[in-house]
Structure 1
Amino acid sequence: MRTALIVVDVQNDFCEGGSLAVAGGAAVAAAVSEHLEDHHGDYAAVAATQDWHVDPGTHFSDEPDYVDSWPVHCVAESRGAHVHPDLDTDWIQAWFRKGEHSAAYSAFEGLLAPDADVLMGDDEDVDDEPDVSLDDWLREHEIEAVDIVGLATDHCVRATALDAVEAGYDTRVLVDLTAGVAEESTERALRQMAEAGVEVVRS
């Protein structure tokens, strides 16, 4: 079975020192890098996502409820939106950005980030390139199963896993390569994923 690894939102703002930090975020970045070093050969494809906010409306708030509204985070092009330095990106083949103008939790809401190198020397305008979703990309690579890692377990990892199952992929969440915002919401998310058909893998 052809399997892809999806690395969700391992960005500075979601790690220690960031504006919406998850405890253990930097450790997840390092652990995912180690996993990729040891297991990249197990995957037919590797993709990653970035929260990439331009003007997401009520997703940002000065008085966030931490359910539907949040402090400002992962503003497009900002340091907070950049990938955490402990994540080794060498094995990542494609990046999907989500949430430019609205809230977006699932990787399946993201679109393939433009690759300037691809267009170098061409007359094509990047605006003329068709949008490519994560689902489009996975199907192009004939992927049947996905492993999901990253941040945060109880938000974007959960949403990505639920959408992956809904899209028909055999789906695993590698819990040791994730970190959640809070223990209670993380355990609730893991139960929800398992009930939906996600294989929740703990070492």
Structure 2
Amino acid sequence: MTRALFIIDVQNDFTEGGALAVEGGAAVAARISTYLAAHPERYDAVFASRDWHDAAGDNGGHFAPSDAVPDFVSTWPVHCVAGTTGAEYHPALDTSAVTLHVRKGQGVPAYSIFEGTTDGGGTVSEALDRLGVTDIDVVGLATDYCVVASALDGLASARTVRVLDDLVAGVAADSSATALARVTEAGASVLPSSAA
């Protein structure tokens, strides 16, 4: 068994004070760092994704037009623009254990880490195959959007997936609970990091 950790979008714009802040996002960043420090040998690979949107244009309709109100379903305020502070990892997230950085949403809408590319220009699926990854743990932001999309795509890639529910935070409690129910129904496990 080869296990990877997916750290999803723990970025300044998705934490308190950011353009699309998730309540508890900064605390999740710190807890992920503590968890990795306590278990340095648990993962054979650590992937960390970031939204990395183009500054020009609407990124395939992902950004709401300046004269329109975002619907927060398929259109969003401007966030995580490439090269800005908002797109950087939250400072409480220690990225020293990250072995593969992934950028997603470069000009198009993207939620799942599988829609991104590694710094080397490859896909996440290619990297998982190359590393022989059979099992994936998922943590990060936001539970009800990019975490659930990444977990479901992990299952679709025929791997065992677990979501560590104390290392995620969502936009809303109801939609986060629904997201975790969806991944459970699809075959993933949802458990605290203490039981991982």
The TM-score bracket by the shorter chain reads over 0.9
Runs of 5+ unmatched residues, structure 2: none
Identity, % of aligned positions: 49
Aligned position for 2:148: 158
Amino acid paired to 1:60: F
Aligned partners of 2:12, 2:108: CA distance in 1, in Å? 20
Deviations for 1:122-161, whole angstroms, at most 9, x for unmatched residues?
Answer: xxxxxxxxx3111111111111000000000000000000
Picking from 67, 76, 82, the partner of 1:70 is 76
Cα RMSD (Å) = 1.0
The TM-score, its normalising length taken from structure 1, stands at 0.90
Match of 1:133 in 2: 123
Shift of 1:40: 2.3
Residue of structure 1 in register with 2:190 after alignment: 200
SS state at 1:58 partner: coil
Specify the SS of the correspondent of 2:5: strand
- Cα distance in 1 for partners of 2:132, 2:157 equals 13
Counting matched residue pairs gives 187
1:50 aligns with 2:56: no
In the aligned structure 2, how far is the partner of 1:40 from the partner of 1:133? 25
Deviations 1:67-120 (A, max 9, x none): 001111000111000000000011001101000111100000010124xxxxxx
Larger radius of gyration: 1
- Distance in 1, matches of 2:97 and 2:29, equals 14
Cross-structure match for 1:169 = 159
What is the deviation of 1:58?
Answer: 1.4
Runs of 4+ in 1 over 3 A off after TM superposition: none
From 102, 112, 137, the equivalent of 1:106 is 112
Residues of 1 paired with 2:108 and 2:70: CA distance? 15
| 1:15 aligns to 2:15 (yes or no) | yes
Structure 1 unaligned blocks of 5 or more:
115-130
